Amino acid sequence: MIFQNNIYIYLALVVSILLFLLLKVGFKLKMKLINNFGDINIIKKFSQNIDFTRTRKKTIMIIIVIFFLFITLARPQWGSKISKINRKGLNIMVMLDVSKSMLAEDIKPSRLEKAKHQVDRLADYLQGDRIGLLVFAGSSFLQCPLTIDYSAFRMYLDNVNVNSVNVQGTALSDALKRAVKSFPEVEKKYKVIILLTDGEDHQGQVLEIAEEAKKEGIIIYTIGIGTPNGDLIPLRSANGTISEYKKDKSGNPVLSRLDEVTLEKIALITGGKYYQATETEFELKKVYEEIMKMEKKMIFGKQFSQREDKFQWFLFPAVLLLLFEILMKERKK
């Protein structure tokens, strides 16, 4: 169990303790005044119609009611909740390059971290669209299927790193083919792929796959992560310091460059656009502005919430106790 407003938990404890102490002190003062007034046994005989036990119970009930009301204001949450959502939107598959070339730091802090941050910003713009995440290097893996649960999508995105795919390299062609097949709908529209990569492809068949994507009604937007001049690929030790730079089979440092030509061709074939990543990070906003102009379909889905409000579990007994306290008479019949 967690509380959204923790301040009310502390207030509940403090107020309850203060009320208990105040009532205890008040009771002692009351007994002192009664003793000063006259003999306690004689006073009790004149007060036989008053039930002092009920009076104490009513006081305890009031304290419990106040305590429960403070707990209600604290918004206790536990369990999980799945809600159905019906919206108009598109199916957007994000393809994220996680090959070691994305560790290059010609874009700070690194190509991969820059790409992840841009994708996270994209989720802020979405309004009913389904989004999925496919990561790739030497092979590809569907990290997150198409969903309208953006919090779940962000959770999968946070866990992405260069170890998300076991096989290293850059098999962009195979990854693009898997992304094309990841759309379950049969309609040849409402489908968008956003590709974030440095553009290197070790297979050379990516343009043919782009043609297949076009036949399926998929529009591809490409975002180049890196610079044409390129940079070395740092390999870091366990403490985060650079231990060496990636080398080829001949022992020479590998210089990774952004391949803008390939990315421009992919976008052009499918009717999309190419953007190069910049410090301002306007690229994905521009992409979203483009896809907002597209025709949208009705999307039915479920959104998962890890915690559900449970304040009613404390509010309901508080109301019952309060009603019972009001109905309880202090005098005997």
* Bridge partners for 142 per DSSP: 134
Which residues does 68 contact at the CB level (< 8 Å), separation at least 6? 314, 315, 317, 318, 321
Confirm whether 135 is domain-assigned. yes
Confirm whether 111 is domain-assigned. yes
Shared-domain flag, residues 42 and 159: no
Shared-domain flag, residues 193 and 222: yes
Confirm whether 55 is domain-assigned. yes
Shared-domain flag, residues 300 and 312: no
Shared-domain flag, residues 63 and 142: no
Shared-domain flag, residues 125 and 256: yes
Q: What pLDDT is recorded for position 116?
A: 94
Residue 104 is part of which domain span?
82-305
Shared-domain flag, residues 73 and 86: no
Confirm whether 333 is domain-assigned. no
> SS3 breakdown of the chain: % helix, strand, coil, rounded to 5?
45, 25, 35
H helix runs in the chain, sequence order: 7-37, 40-46, 52-73, 111-125, 150-158, 172-181, 206-215, 260-270, 283-291, 312-327
Confirm whether 175 is domain-assigned. yes
Confirm whether 273 is domain-assigned. yes
Shared-domain flag, residues 248 and 150: yes
pLDDT in tens, the chain (333 residues): 677 777 888 888 888 888 888 877 877 787 677 667 666 666 666 555 656 677 778 878 888 888 888 888 888 877 666 556 555 678 999 999 999 889 999 888 899 999 999 999 888 888 878 899 999 998 999 999 998 888 899 999 999 999 898 887 778 889 999 999 998 766 777 899 999 998 776 666 889 999 999 999 999 999 999 888 889 988 887 777 888 888 888 888 888 888 899 999 999 999 999 999 887 777 888 888 888 887 666 555 555 555 667 778 888 888 888 888 888 776 665
Confirm whether 46 is domain-assigned. yes
Shared-domain flag, residues 159 and 247: yes
Give the domain CATH number at 191. 3.40.50.410
Shared-domain flag, residues 96 and 212: yes
Total domains present in the chain:
2
Shared-domain flag, residues 169 and 215: yes
- Asked whether 322 and 42 are in contact (CB, 8 A), the reply is no
DSSP letter, residue 101: G
Shared-domain flag, residues 64 and 11: yes
Q: What pLDDT is recorded for position 159?
A: 92
Shared-domain flag, residues 142 and 290: yes
Confirm whether 125 is domain-assigned. yes
